Amino acid sequence: MSNKKAWANAIAQPATEFPLTPLSVIYGKIPAGLRGSLYRNSPGRLERGGIKVGHWFDGDGAILAVNFTDDGATGVYRYVQTAGYQAETAKGKLIYGNYGMTARGAFWNRWLKPVKNAANTSVLALPDKLLALWEGGKPHALDLQTLSTWGLDDLEGLSKGQAYSAHPKIDEQTGDIFNFGISIGKNPQVNIYRSDATGKIVQTGAFPLTNVPLIHDFVLAGQYLVFFIPPVELNILPVILGFSCYCDSLKWKPQLGTQIVVIDRETLSVVSRSQAEPWFQWHFANGYVDEGGTLVVDMARYEDLQTNQFLKEVPTGVTHTPAKSNLSRVQLNPQTGRFMGIETILDRNCDFPSVPPQNVGQNSRHTYLSISRPGTDISQEILNAIACFDHENGTLMETDLGENLYPSEPIYVRDAHNHQQGWILTVVYDGNTHCSQVWVFDSQGLDQEPICKLTLPEVIPHSFHGTWKAA
Ligand SMILES: [Fe+2]
């Protein structure tokens, strides 16, 4: 089609796995203090048997690992061997329903059919295993080195049917890992989990929901966990009956406003509940409590749910729905729930905001994020730059990679020798040469040439989330 953009070529074909392979440095030098592994997860396969999936979120998860060692870098790329992936591989066709598609076949075959756990959203690196995360179900455990799939993992605490979302929050000071999962059904609720540093769930909590909303991420802010429930309501019955998928059963209901639930991180019980104006967010950058006791939360904010339509269009290779976001800041009193307002702090289309891992839950001077280059038609292009926002002086430092280059979500890595030094890792799809590379930037030099570029043996599809595990 005439308006097909270069990004579409990275996902036009199912991604090709590769075994552990030495990676060539094609530019610069790997920093001596960069030792460990980058892991990234993405939908690697968006069609089977000539049929496209219904939404970007439906693709089968595939994991990229890039290892930085004293002897150079290596990479490996493997699909997560979920039960659904194996069954569909054996049949050579799509079988299951998912977020954006119903199960295949006549409608009486779709009733009460389980959806496929796509294991495609993010990764959590634990001391002895890697988890591939998907918010509708349990995580899959994988071998940290080979990426071979061991199977579903309950973290010694997830009961039958309990989900573990794709956005755990790690407190580096205590080793605590917080996460949540939504239980749908007659009495929908948000389950909250605290794990120790091994991933083992050691404490649980819950709060009830009045409907089934769309909660993708949450916030760790000082002594609180904070949930922002957007005014989205799932009409559950057609989904259970197999007539409709989740995506098509979500209704934008701005009259509900945004519900805010503040949880005490020690007791996992509700501190306050309140309501604010309607907006939508997939992702939070961070949260903290300032000296005056005010809870501050930054996020990539959308006006409504149109972003979901844009993401639904991605697997077709051509998008046309604009869904502008910006970086916004919310302030509220965590004890009373009094909402003190939301303001735009950076009016640029953006998502995947984050802070250096050591700053999670605390005030962070810098927020890293993916953005659109100036002049980009956001109805037709996916995010095509990465940037660093400096909260102290309000400035933005951004990459300029040129036309048809698409960097993934920026991952901050603290240098092993100099903790004041950070590196930003991103996997870049070069649409001009149809190849993928790993680029390393100085965390304070995103507007300069990267420190190092490594070539990957195969094209890596655009990915959602990743993590770093220090050696
Ligand atoms: Fe996400």
Structure tokens at 220: 């760790």
If you measure from the C-alpha of residue 106 to the centroid of ligand 1, how many angstroms do you get, rounded to a whole number?
32
If you measure from the C-alpha of residue 466 to the centroid of ligand 1, how many angstroms do you get, rounded to a whole number?
10
The answer to whether the CB of 125 falls within 8 A of the CB of 139 is no
Task: Say if residue 91's pLDDT is above 60.
Answer: yes
The string of DSSP codes covering 248-279 is: GGEEE-GGG-EEEEEEETTT--EEEEEEE---
Angstrom distance (rounded) from CA 80 to CA 185: 28
The identity of residue 237, as a single letter, is L
Cα 286 from chain centroid (whole Å): 14
Q: What is the mean pLDDT of residues 161-174?
A: 96
- Specify the pLDDT at position 213: 84
If you measure from the C-alpha of residue 134 to the centroid of ligand 1, how many angstroms do you get, rounded to a whole number?
9
How high is the mean pLDDT of the chain?
Answer: 95
Three-state SS letters, 363-414? CCCEEEEEECCCCCCCCCCCCCEEEEEECCCCEEEECCCCCCEEECCCEEEE
- Specify the pLDDT at position 105: 63
- Specify the pLDDT at position 13: 96
Angstrom distance (rounded) from CA 103 to CA 112: 10
Residue ranges of E strands in 213-337: 219-221, 224-229, 232-234, 250-252, 258-264, 270-276, 280-289, 295-302, 325-332
- Specify the pLDDT at position 346: 98
**Is residue 125 helix, strand or coil?**
strand
If you measure from the C-alpha of residue 146 to the centroid of ligand 1, how many angstroms do you get, rounded to a whole number?
24
Instruction: Report if pTM > 0.85.
Output: yes
Map out the domains of the chain with their CATH numbers. Answer: 6-470 (2.130.10.10)
Task: Say if residue 103's pLDDT is above 90.
Answer: no
pLDDT digits (tens, 9 = 90+) for 17-46: 999 999 999 999 999 999 999 999 999 999
Q: Which residue has the higher pLDDT, 223 or 112?
A: 223
If you measure from the C-alpha of residue 311 to the centroid of ligand 1, how many angstroms do you get, rounded to a whole number?
12
- The values of phi and psi at residue 89, to 5°, are -65, -45
Q: What is the mean pLDDT of residues 185-190?
A: 89
If you measure from the C-alpha of residue 72 to the centroid of ligand 1, how many angstroms do you get, rounded to a whole number?
31
Angstrom distance (rounded) from CA 159 to CA 180: 13
Structure tokens at 48: 């089977």
- Specify the pLDDT at position 106: 57
If you measure from the C-alpha of residue 282 to the centroid of ligand 1, how many angstroms do you get, rounded to a whole number?
6
- Specify the pLDDT at position 2: 54
Q: Name the percent of the chain in helix, strand, coil, to the closest 5.
A: 10, 45, 45
If you measure from the C-alpha of residue 286 to the centroid of ligand 1, how many angstroms do you get, rounded to a whole number?
13
**What is the H or E stretch that residue 313 is in?**
helix 306-313
If you measure from the C-alpha of residue 70 to the centroid of ligand 1, how many angstroms do you get, rounded to a whole number?
32
If you measure from the C-alpha of residue 32 to the centroid of ligand 1, how many angstroms do you get, rounded to a whole number?
31
H helices within 29-137, ranges in order?
Answer: 83-91
pLDDT digits (tens, 9 = 90+) for 248-266: 889 999 999 999 999 999 9
If you measure from the C-alpha of residue 442 to the centroid of ligand 1, how many angstroms do you get, rounded to a whole number?
24
Q: b/e for 208-237, b at 16 or more Cβ within 10 A?
A: ebebbbbbebbbbbbebbbbbbbbbbbebe
Residue ranges of E strands in 17-138: 18-23, 25-28, 36-45, 47-48, 51-52, 60-69, 72-79, 122-125, 130-133
Q: In which residue are the tokens 């996997």 written?
A: 427
If you measure from the C-alpha of residue 108 to the centroid of ligand 1, how many angstroms do you get, rounded to a whole number?
33
**What is the H or E stretch that residue 142 is in?**
strand 140-142
Q: What is the mean pLDDT of residues 117-139?
A: 97
If you measure from the C-alpha of residue 28 to the centroid of ligand 1, how many angstroms do you get, rounded to a whole number?
31
- Specify the pLDDT at position 101: 84
Q: What is the mean pLDDT of residues 467-471?
A: 98
Percent of the chain's residues with pLDDT above 90: 89
- The values of phi and psi at residue 86, to 5°, are -70, -40
Task: Say if residue 455's pLDDT is above 80.
Answer: yes
C-alpha dihedral sign at 343, 346, 348, 351: negative
Sheet holding 130-133, edge to edge: 122-125, 130-133, 140-142, 149-152
- The values of phi and psi at residue 249, to 5°, are -105, 10
If you measure from the C-alpha of residue 305 to the centroid of ligand 1, how many angstroms do you get, rounded to a whole number?
15
The answer to whether the CB of 341 falls within 8 A of the CB of 331 is yes
- The values of phi and psi at residue 315, to 5°, are -60, -20
- Specify the pLDDT at position 138: 97
If you measure from the C-alpha of residue 111 to the centroid of ligand 1, how many angstroms do you get, rounded to a whole number?
29
The answer to whether the CB of 300 falls within 8 A of the CB of 327 is yes
User: Burial of 415 by CB count in 10 Å (0-12 exposed, 13-18 middle, 19+ buried)?
Assistant: middle
Neighbours of 71 (CB within 10 A): 8
If you measure from the C-alpha of residue 24 to the centroid of ligand 1, how many angstroms do you get, rounded to a whole number?
30
The answer to whether the CB of 389 falls within 8 A of the CB of 365 is no
Percent of the chain's residues with pLDDT above 70: 97
Confidence of residue 170 (pLDDT cuts 50, 70, 90): very high
pLDDT digits (tens, 9 = 90+) for 360-417: 999 999 999 999 999 999 999 999 999 999 999 999 999 999 999 999 999 999 999 9
Q: What is the mean pLDDT of residues 170-190?
A: 94
- Specify the pLDDT at position 5: 97
If you measure from the C-alpha of residue 351 to the centroid of ligand 1, how many angstroms do you get, rounded to a whole number?
9
Task: Say if residue 84's pLDDT is above 90.
Answer: yes
